[in-house]
Structure 1
């Protein structure tokens, strides 16, 4: 195996992930390069889920029997783990949702219903970027349509970076919220948080960061980011599906209205009016994703035991190697940054005039799993004049051999299509 500086003990780590031993298509061992869509799950997470359902399954809070108390302790314990993982000042700032999309929609709806000074209305503006996942575009389009607010965005440079040359025109005194991704899910670009947050703070705008492609791959410190809200999802960071996180500053969560109403989020209810529980429960109406939160807590334990700084170094080495090897493939064009600096481990590309769906299908026949399409980031494809891309994305269990398999597979694709 090719040796690169900074790699983790890949063989030891891969033993924790049962699916990576899966054999497909005439005995080919799977090469999983679709981690930006979802990660595989280690045995430690699978075991935690099974143990919860087999030994502790009950609804949380209020119950006085032993199972309810155990389930509550596990659920709230997961909140403690997430708070420590992102360096939140308070566990009460961690809200569980079903995914990052719900977290982003939650903030959009909070601001649509809020009183001053947070309320978004026809006199205000919303700022996003052209590289956002649809989950960080559509909620703001909906809010703008409902309220009459003006939606503005940063464009992209030819090399896949944000164009901040007009930052004072995009973020103005009218801006109420600036929402942007920390790491692009399609291009891997790591965005300049400090410059955007500084400008937003200068004009009194709130900042929401989509960290879905950051939380699995690098240390995430919400205090260092300087944002007001941070959203991410569990299934991309070794956790189960059905669990997401919204972190928000305590004083904002106290002032902003809830979006969903029902059980658990209330303090008192009469037929005339209701009062609400403090955050985080104020924003967690109904039975929460209990087992999923327990699974996310186990994923946090797993990632922490390895070390997020070590995971980041491993992925940087793999990404740098992948960019170098992909440069050897004739007619291949990377969409986004072409160096490993300030970029994550997702690499999108086009291969000559071969449609990405055809590329993906031929790679699949060789046991190589990649993602094809616009990756819920269609404005990026429109910006660069392409219908779609093939995306290979790496994680802590990815190896140089996976990259070599991809490059060999792409040569097979080229030969297949002549």
Structure 2
């Protein structure tokens, strides 16, 4: 099914046929789904992979010797191999399954950071982080006595890299930054960040929730120490994610949770840990969604990320031009390098009111602070209206949003 999508020209109508939800009618209008940064819709191959597991080989994995258990284990581990290839990890043992980016960051915080940080050490994050890449480090700073420093953001929504370099010193042990901003779309210069951090002996974690679906990811080329992925933002199911970590770091880290599978030998006196990656995968995992994640990644690879990116960039350019043509609209996040996210505010209009009126037109956008309250405070606003685009969106849908905005602004002013 995926192979039929591989062609030299991008046929968005052919792509759309693979997403059943796009046939929905909302408030009497055809659905226009522009909330892809929150979660992407799922192609039929992903839905089929989920149902196929439950219909045909539902079983617990790794320890069973019967046929269903062996089939389920093979399918589960095949996803690990696919993720390894998708991000070009050196070894499959460096791929740890989690519930998503939030759990991946917390895993690093409560294993690597809690073990290695002490009073006087420093952590650097950025001013555009999602709460999931702020709060864990605040908690770790409280526990360890480490200091948390923040890279400031300029008026365009870009990191002020001169200030980042000023923050770097031998006290910095960890830098954790978002690869691409969920609320602004900004693509951060992560290679520069990684190289500079490594020079002072710090390790680097990247939040790849938004970047994985839009950008080619090569963790070996980036040389990041940790990289976090959420399945549901790359056309896969919810409740499953990935932590990539360099093997030497993972080997040295204590387990995150105790339970079945993560052990090698248990007595009442002492327990020894399982080998990677299972040391960090305690208990019965989310098998079905992990299996379906492979279908999602294969779907994306079958079309080609570069092809998708080129099309999404075209949508972003078009949307930006159309939004800028409306009096009273201000774009928030005008970085030179962006993924397909357009955030905006309308003078005198609350984002929530705007979102409700757009929903009445069948247009699904996200409103609010997007789990980036410090960033909204930086811009002096309570939140934005965010339209985020995916491979199945069209310019015609953008036109529907623009027409809806004209109607909404007229009503609200």
TM over 0.5: yes
In structure 2, the partner of 1:10 is 12
Name the structure 2 match of 1:3.
none
Partner of 2:192: 195
Alignment-derived partner of residue 111 in structure 1: 112
Asked if 1:359 corresponds to 2:361, the answer is no
| Structure 1: runs of 5 or more not aligned | 1-5
Measure, in 2, the Cα distance between the counterparts of 1:97 and 1:194: 25
Paired residue total: 406
Cα distance in 2 for partners of 1:93, 1:299 equals 20
- Please tell me whether the aligned partners of residues 36 and 185 of structure 1 are also in contact (alpha carbons under 8 angstroms): yes
How many Å apart are 1:7 and its aligned residue? Answer: 7.3
Kindly indicate whether residue 221 of structure 2 is the aligned counterpart of residue 219 of structure 1: no
Cα pair distance change 1:409/1:168, threshold 3 Å: same
Q: Secondary structure of 2:387's partner?
A: strand
Q: Deviation of residue 221 (structure 1)? A: 1.0
1:25 matched to which residue of 2? 27
Corresponding position of 2:70: 69
**For each residue in 1:198-218, what CA deviation from the matched residue of structure 2 results, as whole angstroms up to 9, or x when unmatched?**
110110100000010011112
The answer on 1:292 being equivalent to 2:289 is yes
Q: Structure 2 regions of 5+ residues with no counterpart?
A: 1-7
> In the aligned structure 1, how far is the partner of 2:86 from the partner of 2:296?
11
Q: Using the TM superposition, give the Cα deviation of residue 389 of structure 1 relative to its aligned residue in structure 2, in angstroms.
A: 0.6
Task: Name the TM-score, length of structure 1 as normaliser.
Answer: 0.96
Question: 1:417 Cα shift?
Answer: 1.4
Is the counterpart of residue 250 in structure 1 residue 247 in structure 2?
yes
Out of 253-262 and 14-23, give the one that drifted further. Answer: 253-262
TM-score normalized with structure 2 length: 0.97
Question: Would you say the 8 A contact 2:152–2:163 is kept in 1?
Answer: no
Displacement of 1:167 in angstroms is 2.2
| Distance in 1 of aligned mates of 2:393 and 2:10 | 10
For residues 280 and 400 of structure 1, the distance between their equivalents in structure 2, rounded to whole angstroms, comes to 43
CA contact (8 A) 1:113 1:257 kept: no
Alignment of structure 1 residues 6-405 onto 2, 5 Å: 8-26=10-28, 28-114=29-115, 119-337=116-334, 341-405=336-400
Q: Evaluate the alpha carbon distance shift between residue 113 and residue 379 of structure 1 in structure 2; reply closer, same or farther with a 3 A threshold.
A: closer
Give the root-mean-square deviation of aligned CA atoms.
1.1
CA contact (8 A) 2:109 2:140 kept: yes
When residues 231 and 73 of structure 1 are mapped into structure 2, their CA distance, relative to the original with a 3 A threshold, is: same
What is the CA distance between 1:295 and its match in structure 2?
A: 0.9
What is the alpha-carbon distance in structure 1 between the residues aligned to residue 133 and residue 9 of structure 2? 33
Q: Does the CA contact (< 8 Å) of 2:342 and 2:388 recur in 1? A: yes
Deviation at 1:171, TM superposition (A): 2.2
Residue 195 of structure 1: how far off its partner (Å): 1.6
Q: 1:128-160: CA deviations, max 9, x gaps?
A: 001000000000000001111000010100111
Name the structure where helix makes up a greater proportion of residues.
2
Moved over 4 A (4+): none
Alpha-carbon distance in structure 2 between the residues aligned to 1:208 and 1:272: 35
